């Protein structure tokens, strides 16, 4: 196996059974366009090419791995040396399914970019550090990113992956999450919405009345003594919409 680059947070999933499960979760239909984030050594790439997809675009930042991935002979495969934290997924079509074992150091940035491109991404399967996956699915105390993602996608925890199924073995378990797009998000301005969420959750131990003006909290019908992590998504959206108005 090609020497991995520690600075890129590379951990290669080597279990054939787990790779097949990930592809099953993606629900690939005939003719689908699929984007793979971080092709690595091509293990998941080859598994995806066993499906009936119409086009597979693999994004990889490691130039050495890009060269190896381009040796895979399949006319449905395009390998791009590209940064998935900023790549415009919608440049590949109006209906793109996304999958990837995300490097821990940039996972949240890739997730944010997926939300930015939500108009063309109805479904995504991502592998995160388990702690992050649990937080994203609301199984532990949420942060701003949890609410940000839940606003635009329904989030499911699909499975855990022990370290032994990766090379090199990470120090922690991983968790697989599926995002299925909501069609009724009701938020248009991502920049202001993210600013609002990060403002609220920057003082997550404080009460809402100490983070947002009291009259806004009252007009939104929110208990002013609640803390940010105690608010439901519906309450968060109500508070945001009143504040914006």
> Can you tell me the mean pLDDT for 64-84?
97
pLDDT in the model for residue 10: 59
- At residue 168 the predicted structure's pLDDT band, cuts being 50, 70 and 90, is confident
What tokens appear for 112 in the block? 């944010």
- Decide if 79 is inside a domain: yes
Q: For 77-124, how does the pLDDT look when each residue is reduced to its tens digit (9 = 90+)?
A: 999 999 999 999 999 999 999 999 998 889 999 999 999 999 999 999
Residues 59, 118, single domain; the answer is yes
* Residues paired with residue 97 on neighbouring β-strands, in sequence order: 34, 123
pLDDT in the model for residue 186: 79
pLDDT in the model for residue 3: 52
Q: Quote the domain boundaries for residue 83.
A: 8-181
Residues 166, 76, single domain; the answer is yes
pLDDT in the model for residue 185: 81
Q: Is the pLDDT of residue 1 over 50?
A: no
Three-state DSSP class for residue 195: helix
Residues 135, 221, single domain; the answer is no
Q: Are 76 and 50 in contact (CB under 8 A)?
A: no
- Decide if 56 is inside a domain: yes
Q: Domain of 197: which CATH number?
A: 1.10.8.100
In order, the DSSP letters of 104-169 are: TTTHHHHHHHHHHTGGG-SEEEEEEEHHHHHHHTTSS---HHHHHHHHHEEEEEEEEE-GGGEESP
Cα–Cα dist 174/171, whole Å? 10
What tokens appear for 9 in the block? 């947070």
Residues 171, 76, single domain; the answer is yes
Residue entry with tokens 């947070």: 9
- Decide if 3 is inside a domain: no
Residues 177, 198, single domain; the answer is no
Residue 170 to residues 9, 12, 134, 164, 206: CA-CA distances in angstroms?
A: 10, 10, 17, 8, 35
- Decide if 35 is inside a domain: yes
User: What is the H or E stretch that residue 21 is in?
Assistant: helix 16-26
pLDDT in the model for residue 188: 83
Q: For 105-115, how does the pLDDT look when each residue is reduced to its tens digit (9 = 90+)?
A: 899 999 999 99
- Decide if 150 is inside a domain: yes
Q: Domain of 18: which CATH number?
A: 3.40.50.150
Number of structural domains found in the chain: 2
- Decide if 65 is inside a domain: yes
Residues 113, 135, single domain; the answer is yes
- Decide if 1 is inside a domain: no
């Amino acid at each position: 196996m090609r020497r991995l680059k520690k600075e890129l947070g590379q951990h290669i999933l080597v279990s054939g059974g787990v790779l097949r499960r990930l592809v099953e979760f993606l629900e690939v239909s005939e003719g689908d366009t699929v984007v793979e984030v971080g092709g690595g050594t091509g293990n998941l790439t080859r598994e995806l090419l066993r499906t009936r997809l119409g086009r597979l675009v693999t994004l990889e930042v490691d130039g050495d791995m890009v060269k190896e991935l381009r040796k895979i002979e399949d006319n449905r495969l395009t390998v791009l040396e590209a940064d998935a934290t900023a790549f415009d997924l919608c440049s590949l079509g109006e209906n793109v399914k996304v999958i990837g074992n995300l490097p821990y150091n940039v996972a949240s940035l890739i997730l944010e970019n997926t939300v930015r491109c939500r108009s063309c991404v109805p479904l995504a399967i991502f592998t995160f550090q388990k702690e992050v996956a649990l937080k994203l699915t609301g199984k532990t105390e949420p942060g701003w990113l949890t609410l940000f993602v839940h606003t635009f996608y329904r989030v499911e925890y699909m499975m855990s992956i022990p370290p032994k199924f990766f090379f090199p073995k990470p120090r922690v378990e991983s968790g697989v999450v599926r995002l299925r797009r909501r069609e009724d998000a009701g938020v248009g301005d991502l920049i202001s919405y993210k600013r609002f969420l990060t403002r609220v959750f920057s003082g997550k131990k404080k009460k809402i009345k100490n983070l947002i003006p009291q009259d806004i909290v009252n007009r939104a019908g929110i208990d002013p003594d609640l803390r940010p992590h105690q608010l439901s998504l519906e309450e968060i959206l109500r508070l945001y919409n009143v504040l914006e108005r």
